[in-house]
Chains A and B, each alone.
Chain A
């Protein structure tokens, strides 16, 4: 069965520091991977996605993620965090044979301190 693990429930970083949020997936075929961000009281917004090709993908708001098949990982990174990045981040996986059905991780809550 497909699954997504986000090992870090909560992360705190200082403004201006770098950020890496971890995501590991379990899926037999080639996965399609996504990162979403959820601000308090809001719906989810797509940050970036990976289908194939270049394993380093760029997204909105200065975020990037790297697909590592050997490690079954799709970690999200940002070189310099802004206070407005404080939010909940979700990793999700689907595949061509999953008919658009997404499997989400449990989320990582990011706090940014001044």
Chain B
């Protein structure tokens, strides 16, 4: 069955380190998204991509970057992790104009 996976599921890192969270989908969807989930804020969009080599900033993109070298993957990089980036991160994908996003299981990141 097609799916969307995230790795690692849990990560503890230190302030200032670079961290990369992986997202892989097997639906061959063009659209991929990264969100962070924080108590009292719901989900907020970090970055998104509509296809290979396309990336766009979302509502809370500062301190994060993404790259899209193939259809299946959209890794999220924290250039220099900060305690404010402690959160649960969700990846999602959708096809074309379907507007129906499928979510991965999430990565819980703790920055100490």
Q: Do A and B bind each other?
A: yes
Given contacts A42-B105, A43-B90, A43-B105, contact A90 B48 (CB under 8 A): no
CB nearest to B106 among chain A residues:
A43
Q: Which residues of B contact A51 (CB under 8 A)?
A: 99
Which of B14-22, B35-43, B69-77, B78-86 lies at the interface? B35-43
CB nearest to B31 among chain A residues:
A100
- Count of interface residues, chain B, beta-carbon cutoff 8 Å: 25
Q: Which residues of A contact B90 (CB under 8 A)?
A: 43-44
CB nearest to A36 among chain B residues:
B103
Does any Cβ of A come within 8 Å of B100's Cβ? yes
Does any Cβ of A come within 8 Å of B68's Cβ? no
Most chain B CB neighbours (cut-off 10 Å) among A4, A6, A41, A44:
A44
Instruction: Give CA–CA (A103, B38) in the complex, Å.
Output: 14
Are B99 and A100 neighbours in the complex by a CB distance under 8 Å? Answer: yes
Does any Cβ of A come within 8 Å of B25's Cβ? no
* Interface bin, chain A: 20 to 34
CB nearest to A91 among chain B residues:
B42
Q: Which residue numbers of B lie inside 8 Å of A, CB to CB?
A: 4, 31, 33, 35, 40-45, 48, 50, 58, 90, 92, 94, 97, 99-106
Other than the known A44-B43, A46-B102, A100-B31, what 14 A-B pairs have Cβ atoms closer than 8 Å?
A41-B105, A42-B105, A43-B106, A44-B103, A45-B103, A99-B50, A100-B33, A100-B97, A101-B48, A101-B58, A102-B45, A104-B35, A106-B41, A106-B42
